[in-house]
Structure 1
Amino acid sequence: MSQAVRPEARAGDAAAKKPPYRGWAGIRRAFGTPSALTMAVLGFGCGLPFLPIASMTLSTRLRDSGLDLGSIGLISLASFFYLLKFLWAPLIDRYVFAPLGPLGRRRSWLLAAQLGVAAGLAALAFTRPELGVAPLVGWVLFTSFAGATQDSVVDAYRIEIAPVQAQAALAATYTLGYRIGLILGGAGALYLAEFADWKAAYLGMAALMALPLLATLLSREPAAPEATVQRRIDFIGAFWQPFSSFFASNGWALGLALLVFVGLFKFPDQVIGVMAGPFYLDSGYTKADIATVSKLYGIWAGIGGAFLGGLCVAAFGFRKMLFVAALGVALSNLAFLLMAQYPSQIWAFYAAITADNVSQGFAGTVLVAFMSSLTDRNFTATQFALLVSLANLPGKFAGGVSGYVVQASSYSAFFVLSALTVVPTLLLLAWLWPRIREAPPPTG
């Protein structure tokens, strides 16, 4: 059976042999591990380059350089590696990055990826889009590949460095670091560009990568898998064995049910994502209101929810929290009815964003803990990257037609319908419930 079914069967490292305490002892053990601080710094390194190479900071720079909107949209596609990182994750699972081999399988790839991100950001500092976009696109591709590789290795490192009972806590501290990285890579870079120039902004981001680089050098390499499967994997097997291993561990029926559950878990939240911005404007809120409530206050509400999820999983285990999180994600959509009923009222905006972002952060941490328990440590990077993609794709596709649903009904009806999409998730969880086993707390 997989770790989700029998989590005690695969220990992350020596710490996994300790009894899986619940309650306050579980919280203390999960958040007290040195790996929690390491994950915060590594999360910072993952969040820092995302906006400068894949989103707002890059597009703002290009527009500031005089590029037309069509070109900016096309150039943004150069960051597509973040969506495809599962394609080369098997190589990260199978091989050590040879030039840095003494660091071990995980840290060698992690240091190489971080050096790549720092070098790419520094190179982007010296590119001049107004003189031609080809060099810029090339460096965005390079940095995107390095950043996506860094994400995959950090996920694998987190799963392998600590037992399943600590995964939610590590996900919470990772989220804190990641969000701080997003703030510095977004607002921080824009402030530097405003008061200095874009060269200083990108060089500043490159310099900040020294923090996760240092964390990688000072951290320990996860223990090698107890199984000897990895030694028997050839190049071709590195790509198909992660799939065969998952279904061999769970069986086809349970394996498919687990995958469908992961895909549906955050569906109610994701389906409304595209309509959020238009809804805010149509409800009478200004762009300043949206920036303050959604983009500033909302970030910290999400971090609070992530830590709440980590505390609850450490105290009560992830099985019960799967139910709480799934229900919370759906019911939080109903909070937007306050904004529909009280348009332009700032208190309604704060109430809705609090409910939505806290539930998102909570559910994200719980889902990470659950998906971490599903992975085979011989294929950690590959299986987790695939699960992350699966968790995001269904809602994204449905979000593409969400505008037509609103046009055919109303915002209020849309939010109610989005909340009701949790029903299949809860029915599937009821079927999975007796099949999800967690190690009991110690007695006596």
Structure 2
Amino acid sequence: MTTEKSWRTAFAIYLQPRVVSMIFLGFSAGLPFLLVFSTLSAWLRDEGVELTVIGFFSWVGVIYSIKVFWAPVIDRLPIPILTRLLGKRRSWMLLAQLGIALGLSAMAGLDSHSQLQLCAVLAVGVAFCSATQDVVIDAFRIETADARYQGAMAAAYVLGYRIALLVAGAGAFYIAEYSSWKTAYSVMAAAMSVGMLTTLCLREPEHRPAETARHVESRLQSALGVSGRDSLWQRMLAGFTDAVLSPFVEFFSRNGRTGLIILLLIALYKMSDITMGVMANPFYLDLGFSKKDIAEISKIFGFFMTIAGAALGGALVVRYGLMRPLLLGSVMVVATNLLFAVLALSAPSKILLAGVISADNLSGGLATSVFIAYLSSLTSKAYTATQYALFSSLMTLPAQFLGGFAGLVVDHYGYYVFFIYASVVGLPAISLVLLLISRERRMVAATQSP
């Protein structure tokens, strides 16, 4: 069992250099995100591009959801010269950051009317490099520190990411207003130097070969009859087995049937939060709040409360371990969705809106940092990038699919019923966390019994 630590020790973890470095890597990860989404949409619309065409640009986001398909390449393939100079993770990180900077610079030099297709290609390229950087940073974060640091490192990452969203969102708009969109994108490309300098200053984590991973790979190769690697086909199949199949087999070898419960929890943990988030802004508008009210309350309160929640979550992981904060996060998300149901029945009030948004962002920030720490603890150091990419994709795809039906629920039953529904879909996650805690306690009791 995890030994509880003092609150002073828990929060002192944010002074650790490895934790502080995640702020800068989080900034590097968050900067390109809006520049291929809402900020790019604003630029294209400002230039008079048709809304139908702008809508097609949203498909760029699919790149972030399928990064698991090339994560095995990142885990296995060295980059000539760069890997020798910088190491396995930093070489991929720097290459991805260079790709983002070059892509944004190229977009800044385009004419949005005559070169719209090239703009789309570059946006896809930037998104691909950005998703690749996400995979590498996640792997780097997990390999740099043990599980008790992961909540704090996730919180620092969230802080940097949120700052980057402000820079790439409001910052780009300000630059475009007083100069041009091309200047804005040029400045954003230059801002990627924050990530590049951080990558060059960091130390490469140790990569120790895992004995269990070697055993899994050997067993799979023998089962497929390619352990000898006598032919080109056998070598290709053995490489595919090691990079793609072994991470999945290793996960279940380590966790057994509990692995299915863990994967189900990963798929359901963010379900309530993401389902509710789809309808949040339409709900505020339908209550009669102005766009100015929403911006001021949700952005200002939302920003600081999310950071506070993430920081608290990181400290809780240090103080209490993973499972109890994981349970707290799941309960808080369900409870704050019920607060939205109360808001739906109340007269419009800015104070009440600020209170509900504050509670929602505090719980969301806490749950996110704790859940990232939990996912990080599930990975094997032999397959960090591949397994974490799988977990992060599984975390969002089912919830995003269910979120697509949110409008139907609101149209047929109203906001009050919708927020009750959004809370109810979070109950299975609470049950699964309790089940895993119970299993963990039984295992500890079994090992301690004479």
Match of 1:299 among 279, 285, 303: 303
| Aligned position for 1:3 | none
| Aligned position for 2:121 | 138
Conserved? CA contact 2:108–2:186, under 8 Å: yes
Once the 2 structures are TM-superposed, how far is the Cα of residue 20 of structure 1 from its aligned partner?
Answer: 7.1
1:374 correspondence with 2:378: yes
Conserved? CA contact 1:82–1:144, under 8 Å: yes
**Aligned counterparts of 1:50 and 1:130: Cα–Cα separation in 2:** 23
> Which has the larger displacement, 287-296 or 88-97?
287-296
**Aligned counterparts of 1:413 and 1:327: Cα–Cα separation in 2:** 19
Once the 2 structures are TM-superposed, how far is the Cα of residue 56 of structure 1 from its aligned partner?
Answer: 1.1
TM-score (norm 1): 0.90
Conserved? CA contact 1:23–1:316, under 8 Å: no
Q: Summarize deviations over 1:84-137 as a string: whole Å, max 9, x none.
A: 111100011112222311211000100100111111111111011111311101
1:406 correspondence with 2:406: no
Once the 2 structures are TM-superposed, how far is the Cα of residue 236 of structure 1 from its aligned partner?
Answer: 4.0
Once the 2 structures are TM-superposed, how far is the Cα of residue 29 of structure 1 from its aligned partner?
Answer: 5.8
**Aligned counterparts of 2:81 and 2:64: Cα–Cα separation in 1:** 24
1:175 correspondence with 2:180: no
**Aligned counterparts of 1:108 and 1:31: Cα–Cα separation in 2:** 26
Once the 2 structures are TM-superposed, how far is the Cα of residue 265 of structure 1 from its aligned partner?
Answer: 1.1
Q: Summarize deviations over 1:350-384 as a string: whole Å, max 9, x none.
A: 01101111100000001001000000111111111
1:71 correspondence with 2:53: yes
| Aligned position for 2:42 | 60
Structure number with the bigger relative contact order (C-alpha 8 A, sep ≥ 6) is: 1
Once the 2 structures are TM-superposed, how far is the Cα of residue 179 of structure 1 from its aligned partner?
Answer: 0.4
The change in CA–CA distance for 1:227 and 1:21 in structure 2 (over 3 A counts) is: farther
| Aligned position for 1:242 | 247
Match of 2:276 among 265, 272, 280: 272
* DSSP 3-state at the match of 1:244: helix
TM-score (norm 2): 0.89
Match of 1:308 among 298, 309, 312: 312
Match of 1:41 among 24, 40, 45: 24
**Aligned counterparts of 1:22 and 1:183: Cα–Cα separation in 2:** 35
> Which has the larger displacement, 186-195 or 19-28?
19-28
**Aligned counterparts of 2:6 and 2:438: Cα–Cα separation in 1:** 22
Match of 1:184 among 159, 167, 170: 167
Match of 2:94 among 107, 111, 130: 111
**Aligned counterparts of 1:136 and 1:436: Cα–Cα separation in 2:** 51
What do you get for the CA RMSD once the two structures are aligned? 2.1
Conserved? CA contact 2:271–2:399, under 8 Å: yes
Once the 2 structures are TM-superposed, how far is the Cα of residue 287 of structure 1 from its aligned partner?
Answer: 1.2
- Tell me the number of residue pairs that the alignment of Structure 1 and Structure 2 aligns: 421
Q: Summarize deviations over 1:238-260 as a string: whole Å, max 9, x none.
A: 01111111111111x20110000
Whichever of the two has the greater Rg, that structure is 2
Once the 2 structures are TM-superposed, how far is the Cα of residue 410 of structure 1 from its aligned partner?
Answer: 2.3
Q: Summarize deviations over 1:261-288 as a string: whole Å, max 9, x none.
A: 1111121111112211221111111111
Q: How does 1:211-226 map to 2 (within 5 A)?
A: 211-226=194-209
Once the 2 structures are TM-superposed, how far is the Cα of residue 21 of structure 1 from its aligned partner?
Answer: 6.7
**Aligned counterparts of 1:236 and 1:98: Cα–Cα separation in 2:** 23
Unpaired segments ≥5 residues, structure 2:
219-237, 445-450
The change in CA–CA distance for 1:185 and 1:303 in structure 2 (over 3 A counts) is: same
Conserved? CA contact 1:338–1:348, under 8 Å: no
Conserved? CA contact 2:57–2:120, under 8 Å: yes
| Aligned position for 1:90 | 72
Paired AA for residue 125 in structure 1? A
